[in-house]
Amino acid sequence: MSETENSKGKVVIMSGPSGVGKSTICKEVVKRFDNLYLSISVTTRPKSKAEVDGQDYWFISEQEFQERIDKNLLLEHAEVFGHLYGTPRDKVEEAIEAGKNIILEIDVQGAKQTLPIFPDAVMIFVLPPTEKDLVKRMDNRGREAADAAEKRLSGASGEIAAAWQYYKHMIINEDLQQAVDECVQIIEDSGGES
């Protein structure tokens, strides 16, 4: 992705239903660019065994999260399936000022808050090939109890409906490599090179 007129970086917003494979896509897309970085969110969600603090998320308490809200340290924040998630403002602003491009992997509520701040953000929504496929992926992930997984699944249809309104780009994650290629293409077309 190239720099804008004033050498500022760009924001890429990547959303999609839980379990659709956004994180994997984002990690692969970042590898294809020299100047694209992943924003690391803060969350009150418990860390799973496979996750690393400071790498997948910054795992913090509700009190710490509230303090960040009170001090206006979050660019956006939302409650998703009973847990709080937010994007640290300083990291994103510093990156953009330094001409770096940054991906925010956030939900639709967060995207709605971010868009007025970065109106030229590249908006990508990732869809599962079928609803059945999403169910299968949730089962395979095995990170949470069945009731929590069900909550995530039932939230998916509402999120997909809202997405048509806000996201310019919709991609289907049927084949990981193809989904990554499509994202790279979208990002390149919105102003840059890998």
CA distance 164 to 45: 28
| 78 is an interface residue for ligand 5GP by CB under 6 A | yes
Stretch that binds ligand 5GP, among 4-12, 107-115, 118-126, 183-191 (CB under 6 A): 107-115
Q: What are the backbone angles phi and psi of residue 106, rounded to the nearest 5°?
A: -135, 165
Q: Does 128 bind ligand 5GP (CB under 6 A)?
A: no
Pull the structure tokens for residue 189.
């077309």
Q: Is 80 in the site for ligand 5GP (CB under 6 A)?
A: yes
Which residues are CB-neighbours of 176 under 8 A, at least 6 positions away? 21, 24, 25, 28
Residue tagged 């602003």 (tokens) = 93
Q: C-beta of 5: minimal distance to ligand 5GP in Å?
A: 28
Binding of residue 44 to ligand 5GP (CB under 6 A): no
* Contacting range for ligand 5GP; rule: CB under 6 A; set: 89-97, 100-108, 171-179, 181-189: 100-108
- State in angstroms the smallest separation of the CB of 70 from ligand 5GP: 17
The total of other beta-carbon atoms located within 10 Å of residue 87's CB is: 25
Order of strands across the sheet that contains 122-127: 36-38, 101-105, 11-15, 122-127, 169-172
Closer Cβ to ligand 5GP, 4 or 109, answer by number: 109
| Residue the block writes with tokens 């998703």 | 80
CB of residue 78 to ligand 5GP, shortest distance in Å: 4
- Of 23, 149, 127, give the one whose Cα is nearest residue 82: 149
Which residue's Cβ has the minimum distance to ligand 5GP? 110
Q: Which is nearer to ligand 5GP, 20 or 184 (CB)?
A: 20
Give the interface with ligand 5GP as residue ranges (CB under 6 A). 15, 18, 41, 45, 76, 78, 80, 85-87, 105-107, 109-110
